[in-house]
Amino acid sequence: MVRSPGKRRRRACGLAVVCALTAALAAPSAYAAQPPQSHAELTVTGQETQPVFSRADAVYQQVDIRTEVDSDGDGTRDTVRMRILRPKETDTAGLKVATIVEASPYWAGGNDVPNHGVDLDEDGLPAKRQQDAGKPGLTGPAVAYSGYYDNYFLPRGYAVAQVDSLGTGGSTGCPTSGGRNETLGAKAAIDWLNGRAKGWDLDGRPVEAGWSTGNAAMMGISYNGTLPTAVASTGVEGLKAIVPISGISSWYDYYRANGGVVAPGTFQGEDTDVLAKYVYSRADREICKPVLAALERDQDRVTGDWSPYWAERDYLKDVRKIKAGVFVVHGLNDWNVKTKNAGQLWEALKKNHVPRKLWLHQAGHTNPMPLRMEEWLRQVHHWFDHYLYGIDNGITKEPQVDVEQADFSWRQQRDWPAPGTRDTTLRLHADGSLGRSAGPATVQSLTDAGRTVPAEQLVTSPDAANPHRLAYTTGPLDRDVRLNGVPEVDVRSSLSGTSPYVTALLVDYGKDTRATSGTVTDTTQQVCYGEGVPGLPGETGCAYRTRHATQSADFKIVTRGWLDARNRDSYARQSKVVEGREYRLRWDLQPQDYVFKAGHRLGLVLISTDYDYTLRYPAGTTMTVRAGAGSVTLPTAPATR
């Protein structure tokens, strides 16, 4: 589950600036000793807003906002519920503030929902129904005002708000896993802050946002990081900045890949209908059942073809409309929302000249804030100050990209992929080697066992014979090789059997200790970054640092990619695969920034079924590859350590 840094049950502690850290912080609370005084305007010192407003005295407000849609078909436009905390001076002194909004389907929790069966019979029909219930991949915060936005930003003159996505919590309408109605539901919050949408308090009395400047930001992780991009892509006025963390830019690339039905990591069998059923938490539990049934029908798990269903959930086509500064954040070890979602958003922002910034870190589907707390807060704070309050603090003149290296140091650069990146093509040889020159066109084959064997077992010992994979490796590298972008595989291949899937795995072979997707809480290092609220459990304004979880192993699967061979010509439509006939198959792997160290070997492993990601047809499909006619192309950048 993705959560913002937890609020610990400790005494209130907050500092006027982020605390300088030692191994453990136990200094008395600066806020407790010198509580903020009443101010009628922002205080800006050193080109940044200062913490002069009281989190403890904040005004709490709830409002139901009318949207543009009637997704539940009851004849009344849907409403979204927004919960707002804002400085008391917005009521007592006429202060107008900008708002940081986090829209989410998770605030009211979720339901136990079984995933789809992924083991298929010879005809491609489910062999059995999986009954293991679990939370869908896009999990998120479920506790009101968890995290740090209120403690850090409200004292600096921001309102913070949570919005229940349609079909969840106090909102009406129906959840649709990225559908247009959800986008317009969250957009209504920005419209209300700008006086363009009607709102009512919980007693039904009209209420307006007279305290709002109209300027807003959206921010969040996972689903909560997807909605900011969705709303920004409408071009809504007043949304000045977004920070999508581990967010989706196209839902096709969350649940599909190159014509294949592909799961988010660790959530095999999940799909849009499962996720929508999970978050469906509004009071009326019957009205959305027809909508949920339509999701299950229209998403199409028989094929992974692109369709109008997925086009509706693609935000990339509307990137040109974005008027907000976009701060993209993603984990290089995130196999839930895969890195393609960040990489293709970044390229689209670049193409359309949208103001942008990028963080790539070594963790997985998580919040980077506790990994690099002071610098994270500085950059996000300056991002919001600049775009919401017009402060010229130099944030847009800094290097656009921060990338965390394998040793957990950080590199700044002006773009991603790194300047100087060039394609390097390595060709597959019949002796199992990868090299620059082409070799004899020799046909090799494997027998699919992926239904029963995970890929991590199939890539081991690349020099040993294994009938269920084809492995190709370089010799020991004489220098570091920095992969920087999207690898592509190009092979002549045939399939004979039931599985249409081909999978490519790019592997780093060499004993090493590497980052995994996880993080570990360091309870010896607590940081007090904002104002706490004495007597309110969980509201301390403090959080523990985290560090990366690591694993020592002989190899690591660096990135992977999938293709349904029936979609070799187009991921929008299938073409027949004739058994035994060779086809040219080309597909992309997930973008990556990774250094293969000198002395290690770089490997490409080809299999059919990928146990943890693709649909699983009966084992036994024969896949051939014509060595000498196949290659992998790697975007490589100058590597420095």
Question: Could you report the per-residue pLDDT of 207-226, keeping only the tens digit for each?
Answer: 999 999 999 999 999 999 99
What the block records as the tokens of 597 is 């160290």
Give residues with Cβ within 8 angstroms of 210, minimum separation 6.
none
The HSE-up count of residue 316 (CA atoms within 13 Å, CB side) is: 21
In a domain, 222, yes or no: yes
How much helix, strand and coil, in percent to the nearest 5, is found in the chain? 20, 30, 50
Alpha-helical segments (H) within 40-154: 89-92, 149-153
3-class secondary-structure state, position 383? helix
Verify that 313 and 426 share a domain, yes or no.
Answer: no
In a domain, 205, yes or no: yes
Whole-number Å distance between alpha carbons of 358 and 88: 34
Residue 3 clears pLDDT 60, i.e. is over it? no
In a domain, 533, yes or no: no
Nearest to 617 by CA among 503, 505, 497, 504: 497
**Alpha carbon separation from 95 to 212, 240, 530 (Å, rounded):** 9, 19, 21
Verify that 216 and 105 share a domain, yes or no.
Answer: yes
Q: List residues bridging with 426 in a β-sheet.
A: 632
Nearest to 38 by CA among 121, 78, 94, 116: 94
pLDDT at site 135: 54
Catalytic position from the list 222, 246, 517, 608: 222
Number of structural domains in the chain: 2
Verify that 151 and 279 share a domain, yes or no.
Answer: yes
Catalytic position from the list 365, 381, 382, 468: 365
Q: List residues bridging with 501 in a β-sheet.
A: 564
**Alpha carbon separation from 532 to 26, 34, 35, 88, 151 (Å, rounded):** 14, 13, 11, 16, 6
- pLDDT tier at 57 (50, 70, 90 boundaries)? very high
Verify that 307 and 433 share a domain, yes or no.
Answer: no
Q: List residues bridging with 616 in a β-sheet.
A: 119
What the block records as the tokens of 47 is 């080109």
What angle separates helix 289-298 from helix 272-279, to the nearest 10 degrees?
A: 160
Last residue of a domain, one of 269, 293, 323: 323
Pseudo-torsion of CA 595, 597, 600, 601, nearest 10°?
Answer: 40
Dihedral sign, CA of 19, 22, 25, 30?
negative
Last residue of a domain, one of 323, 345, 378: 323
Residue 343 clears pLDDT 50, i.e. is over it? yes
- pLDDT tier at 12 (50, 70, 90 boundaries)? very low
Verify that 194 and 66 share a domain, yes or no.
Answer: yes
In which residue are the tokens 């290296």 written?
405
3-class secondary-structure state, position 91? helix
In a domain, 622, yes or no: yes
Whole-number Å distance between alpha carbons of 560 and 614: 12
In a domain, 174, yes or no: yes
Residue 23 clears pLDDT 50, i.e. is over it? no
In a domain, 258, yes or no: yes
Active site residue 437: no
Question: Could you report the per-residue pLDDT of 67-83, keeping only the tens digit for each?
Answer: 999 999 999 999 999 99
Nearest to 593 by CA among 431, 385, 358: 358
Residue 567 clears pLDDT 80, i.e. is over it? yes
What the block records as the tokens of 209 is 């946002």
Residue 13 clears pLDDT 80, i.e. is over it? no
Residue percentage of the chain with pLDDT more than 70: 90
Whole-number Å distance between alpha carbons of 375 and 200: 39
User: Each residue of 219-247: b (16+ CB within 10 Å) or e?
Assistant: bbbbbbbbbbbbbbbbebebbbbbbbbbb
Residue 548 clears pLDDT 60, i.e. is over it? yes
In a domain, 74, yes or no: yes
3-class secondary-structure state, position 396? helix
Range of the domain at 149: 42-323
Question: Could you report the per-residue pLDDT of 230-286, keeping only the tens digit for each?
Answer: 999 999 999 999 999 999 999 999 999 999 999 999 999 999 999 999 999 999 999
Question: Could you report the per-residue pLDDT of 361-393, keeping only the tens digit for each?
Answer: 999 999 999 999 999 999 999 999 999 999 999
> CA Rg, the chain, in Å?
25
In a domain, 483, yes or no: yes
- The CATH number for 223's domain is 3.40.50
Active site residue 468: no
pLDDT at site 201: 97
Residue 608 clears pLDDT 50, i.e. is over it? yes
Q: Which strands make up the sheet holding 158-164, listed edge to edge?
A: 199-200, 59-66, 79-86, 158-164, 97-104, 212-221, 239-245, 325-331, 356-361, 401-404, 410-413
Residue 144 clears pLDDT 50, i.e. is over it? no
Whole-number Å distance between alpha carbons of 220 and 167: 19
Whole-number Å distance between alpha carbons of 223 and 203: 30
Sequential DSSP letters for 267-333: -TT--HHHHHHHH--SS-SSTTHHHHHHHHHHT-SS-B---HHHHHTB-GGGGGG--SEEEEEEETT
Catalytic position from the list 150, 334, 508, 588: 334
Dihedral sign, CA of 548, 549, 552, 555?
negative
3-class secondary-structure state, position 6? coil
Contact (Cβ atoms closer than 8 angstroms) between residue 245 and residue 358: no
Burial of 586 (0-12, 13-18, 19+ CB in 10 A): middle
Verify that 317 and 447 share a domain, yes or no.
Answer: no
Last residue of a domain, one of 273, 288, 323: 323
Residue percentage of the chain with pLDDT more than 90: 86
- pLDDT tier at 535 (50, 70, 90 boundaries)? confident
Nearest to 572 by CA among 390, 369, 305, 339: 305
